Amino acid sequence: MKLLYAPSSPFVRKVWIVALELGLDTQIERIASTASPIKPNQDLSSHNPLGKLPTLIRDDGTTLFGSAVLCDYLGAQLPGNKVVPTEGESKWRALRDQCLADGLLDAALLVRYELIRPEESRWDIWTDGQMAKIVAALDAIEHDAKGLGERVDVGSIAIGCALGYLDFRFAALEWRKHCPVTSAWFQAFAQRPSFTQTQPA
């Protein structure tokens, strides 16, 4: 399998951490790529019509995209694993947390993409609306943070990647000040080798 990736992408990071935690990383060749909403990458678009990363090229040449789909696909290679749970309440908890963290990241990327615009075309109300979504997602994460505990599943991994991205691109937000329980959890979780090896660059 080949994973088209960019080292700064939090969605790529989530997929790669899932691969590392499942021990599937050795079966995946990583190919550096680029993605931009305004400068289409023809090679990437030939594999993924949305032109987004991550994109996975399977051994038979077919492609998968959408980081949640890729995590599901990797999980399906090792039935019964706990990283991508497929049954019971642990499945819904992991999927919900992944959706929450991915939504936070979608809002964060929209804020970043707003900065691509010429200054006179930027719209503060739009940016404020996306920032409000980030804060609301953080509130929800903090509300349930005690439940994160020792969990290492696609939901807690997604939350870790979202927090790591805020540290990387939104340090001024100082999310730890508002989220003490999450902050304590993240301090320990971020020590995992899968996290330290995938620091955004």
Ligand X SMILES: N[C@@H](CCC(=O)N[C@@H](CS)C(=O)NCC(=O)O)C(=O)O
Nearer to ligand X, 39 or 177 (CB): 39
> Cβ of residue 84: shortest distance to ligand X, in angstroms?
15
> Cβ of residue 68: shortest distance to ligand X, in angstroms?
6
Positions touching ligand X (CB under 6 A) are 9, 11, 35-37, 51-54, 66-68, 102, 109
Residue 10 near residue 200, CB atoms below 8 Å? yes
* Beta strands 63-65 and 55-57, pairing class: antiparallel
> Cβ of residue 149: shortest distance to ligand X, in angstroms?
25
Nearer to ligand X, 5 or 88 (CB): 5
Based on the number of CB atoms within 10 Å of its own CB, is 63 exposed (0-12), middle (13-18) or buried (19 or more)?
middle
Q: What is the CA radius of gyration of the chain?
A: 17
Question: What is each CA distance from 48 to 15, 54, 73, in whole angstroms?
Answer: 16, 9, 16
Residue 83 near residue 21, CB atoms below 8 Å? yes
Nearer to ligand X, 112 or 176 (CB): 112
Nearer to ligand X, 34 or 187 (CB): 34
> Cβ of residue 185: shortest distance to ligand X, in angstroms?
23
